[in-house]
Chains A and B, each alone.
Chain A
Amino acid sequence: MTLAHKTPITPLDNAFTPEGGKQLPAPLKSLRDIRSKAITGMALPNRRTENWKYSSRYLKLDPELAPLTQATGNADYRSVEGTYRLVIRNGVVDLESSSLPTGDGIDIRRFADLDDVTAQGVAKKLDTTLDHGTTQMAALNTARLEDGILIRLSADTSVDKPVYIQYVTDAGTSGSNYPRLMIEAGQGSKMTLVEEFISNGDQPVLVDSVSELLLDDSANITYIRLCMDPVNVRHIGATGVRIGANAKLDSHCIGFGGDLRRHDLQVRLEGQGGYTRLNGIALTQDRQHYDNHTAIDHVVPNCDSDENYRCLAADRSHAIFNGRIHIHPDAQQSHADMNNKNLLLSTNAEIDTKPELEIYADDVTCAHGATVGQLDEESLFYLTSRGIDRDTAATMLSMAFVHELVGQVPLEDIREAVNTRLTDFIEASFRRASE
């Protein structure tokens, strides 16, 4: 934890009272209490906190952001065809609105519904996927835990359709919520998980979400994270993943900017033959912010990682990418490839990109590249010379920039929905700018 003694410290716990968690089974309640104590006096990340350097200025925890769990509006429970649905509203699991997979080997329960033995097991595993030195706000999630969902797949279980989790925030009044997900994928199990964050209402709201994925040997998880909250939602999210031998995580994180957007994705390759692909797209416009921090730990030999993040920043917005690859001393024969390409759509936008490589093994390949560019004028000219207006042409070229990554989103329906939403978002930005 970085403490900046010379600047006035805003303690994390000071923002609002830590009451709650009464529904939780004893082991989880007790973990909550421990975290609450631990963050007492802990500083809110500020500009001297290295991993919040570019983002702390967007982080404001006002008293009005006290935890809010009551539904205040009509949530948009759009069901997505061909998927199971799980609704988490203001951090609280809404089983009535959900339609969950059933069957042998699939165990899905709210934290509140866990028996003590299971809760004990979950409490031991919670918070084990994330580096606490860099995810201060994840500790706040545990300290404010109200509810959570556990998805357990036993060995060789495949879930036949994607599990689509909708995190709905009612932003009719200001407040904050703390959704929590824990996935334990047993040996050789397989599932596709979609996390979509949405919101209704226009009041300032903080969402502090944590998702933890534990992949046992040969497990295979496809993870699609859609951060689609409106601007008034300040979203701090963390996804922690531990990957066992020959297991695989295929991750696609796609999001729009807002008053504050932060996603920490931390993946540990802990068994030989593990593989992860991390794709990401972040779009910002107006005065929005988006900060992607990823960390891949190659802990053991013979694992591969491929990372490809792209950001587009328009208007006066600010996008940040920080990609850390840590190859541990034992992790010989690691192959890590990290690529971050960025597109500045306006000279007033800001993009900060920083690869961080820590390589302690000698027999590895580790490639990385980061670029910041602008739309190609000759391409724009070519398109407009065929009668296409400049805004449409610029939108087409911006979408071309993320085309490859969108094309890799595994589910056609989701891929098309993503494509449409990205196109609309970018086009709106160009149209506004040229008005």
Chain B
Amino acid sequence: MLTIKNLHASVEGTPILKGINLEIKPGEVHAVMGPNGSGKSTLAQVLVGHEAFEVTEGEILFDGQNLLDLEVEERALAGLFLAFQYPVEIPGVSNLQFLRTAVNTLRKHRGENELDSPSFMKMAKEKAKQVDLGPDFLKRGVNEGFSGGEKKRNEIMQMLMMEPRLGILDETDSGLDIDALKTIANGVNTLRAENRSFLVVTHYQRLLNHIVPDVVHVLAGGQIIKSGDKQLAMELEEHGYGWLGINEAEAAG
């Protein structure tokens, strides 16, 4: 589904990703772990097309298409979804209006009927409930005044609405208590399907107890230095990143 070959990317001229290779097959869940500053968010943002990150080398194939040729919105329509580490607040655009526009754009693209107001509301309320967000959240501005945890739930709620082919989660677990973590993991798990894959970016192993990965990669200094099964995450948890010879303070270099 997703093939990343020798991906190099820089921000403001500074190389961050230095030759990433990754292959995600349909139905698989891959975890990317790594210390702060190792380039996890950069990888996620490059995939969805943030223009601050310049791809200097390599290629990304998504369902056979060259992802780097696609605009941000085209990538979303192709089935890519990123649950952001730091979702922006957009006062004045209601969650409802935003979601409805997004969902209907997507449906139109897939050749499905656009949802009318009542059926959209029904669906939105259901999905909100699934991540423990009350219906009043739908009326508020996008992420406006949401707590950190509410923002993360809102990201997952959007993912539930949009049913992407590849869901990318960027530290969705950070700052969440164990109940919230479970809620979010449940949300993700209901989406797991033969045809849908996930890339779960996280600093800690604990999320991976709930969203069980098929493959775990360790990212350090802009490269994947080790890959393994879920056991790798446990070992990292036990021994820390130092175990792999990673100096956390220098990881960004």
A interface vs B, CB < 8 Å?
A: 376, 378-379, 381-390, 392, 396-397, 399-404
Q: How far is the CA of A389 from the CA of B81 in the complex (A)?
A: 15
B181 at interface, CB cutoff 8 A: no
In the complex, residue of chain B having the shortest beta-carbon distance to the beta carbon of A389? B73
Q: Say whether B105 contacts A383, CB under 8 Å.
A: no
* A388, B142: Cα distance in complex, Å: 14
Q: Which of B49, B88, B98 contacts A396 (CB 8 A)?
A: B98
Please report the total number of B residues contacting A with Cβ < 8 Å: 30
Q: Sample 27 A-B pairs with CB under 8 A, ordered by A number.
A: A381-B51, A382-B87, A383-B98, A383-B102, A384-B72, A384-B73, A385-B48, A385-B76, A386-B76, A386-B102, A386-B162, A387-B109, A388-B98, A388-B101, A390-B73, A392-B101, A392-B105, A396-B93, A396-B98, A396-B101, A397-B92, A399-B92, A400-B92, A400-B93, A402-B92, A403-B91, A403-B93
- Neighbouring B residues of A379 by C-beta, 8 Å: 88, 90
Complex Cα gap A303–B142 (Å) = 37
B116 → A minimal CB distance (Å): 18
Per the bound structure, the CA–CA distance linking A392 and B93 in Å amounts to 12
Q: Does B158 contact A (CB under 8 A)?
A: yes
- Asked if residues A382 and B73 are in contact (CB atoms below 8 Å), the reply is no
Docked pose: A181 CA to B142 CA in angstroms: 43
Q: Provided the pairs A386-B98, A386-B162 are in contact, do residues A403 and B92 lie with their beta carbons within 8 angstroms? A: yes
**A404 to B141 alpha-carbon distance, docked (Å):** 11
Q: Which of B49, B75, B90, B158 has the most CB of A within 10 A?
A: B90
Q: Does B66 reach chain A (CB closer than 8 Å)?
A: no
Given contacts A379-B88, A397-B90, contact A387 B106 (CB under 8 A): yes
Residues of B within 8 A of A (CB): 48-51, 71-73, 75-77, 81-82, 84, 87-88, 90-93, 97-98, 101-102, 105-106, 109, 141-142, 158, 162
Q: Is the interface of A mostly helix, strand, loop or mixed?
A: helix
For residue B87, which residues in chain A have a CB less than 8 angstroms away from its CB?
Answer: 382
Which residues of B sit under 8 angstroms from A399, Cβ to Cβ? 92-93
A78–B48 CA distance with the chains assembled, in angstroms: 47
Distance, CA A402 to CA B92, complexed state (A): 8
Q: Known interface pairs A381-B50, A387-B105. Does A404 touch B162 (Cβ–Cβ under 8 Å)?
A: no
Partner of B158, one of A378, A386, A389: A386
In whole angstroms, what is the CA distance A404 to B88 when docked?
Answer: 19
18 new A-B contacts at CB < 8 Å, known A382-B88, A383-B93? A382-B90, A383-B98, A384-B73, A385-B49, A385-B72, A385-B76, A385-B82, A386-B158, A387-B77, A387-B102, A387-B105, A388-B98, A390-B73, A392-B101, A397-B90, A399-B92, A399-B93, A403-B91
